[in-house]
Amino acid sequence: MRSRIILRAVLLALAGPSLAAGPGDTIVAARQASMKEMAAAARAIAEMFDGKRAYEPAAFKAAADTLSARAGGLTGEFPQGTLGAPSAARPEIDQA
């Protein structure tokens, strides 16, 4: 239960700034797409844990693979100097 809450909080923290950004910027749009895929994958896994969705090994693996692939490349979607408008991403990301 606690791990699901933490996972959801992390995903919201990651997705929140990107969702507020303008849709016209290609880099911001790519970040938004990645974070939306990660959120959907995390939601699918959480629903299986909560019993809201039947456990399906193939669907679980696909969701886990999506999280693994997207999370590993997430920092690359914040190239230096791309945090201004239209992005609402925090400047601290540039220091990571």
User: Which phi and psi angles does 80 have, rounded to 5°?
Assistant: -55, 135
HSE-up of 91 (CA within 13 Å, CB side)? 1
pLDDT in tens, 21-52: 444 478 888 888 999 999 999 999 999 999 99
Q: How far apart are the first and last CA of the chain?
A: 29
Please state whether the predicted TM-score (pTM) of the whole model is above 0.85. no
Could you tell me the residue ranges of all domains in the chain? 2-74
Across the chain, how many H-helices and E-strands are there? Answer: 3, 0
User: How far is Cα 38 from Cα 34, in angstroms, rounded to an integer?
Assistant: 6
CA–CA separation, 36 and 40 (whole Å): 6
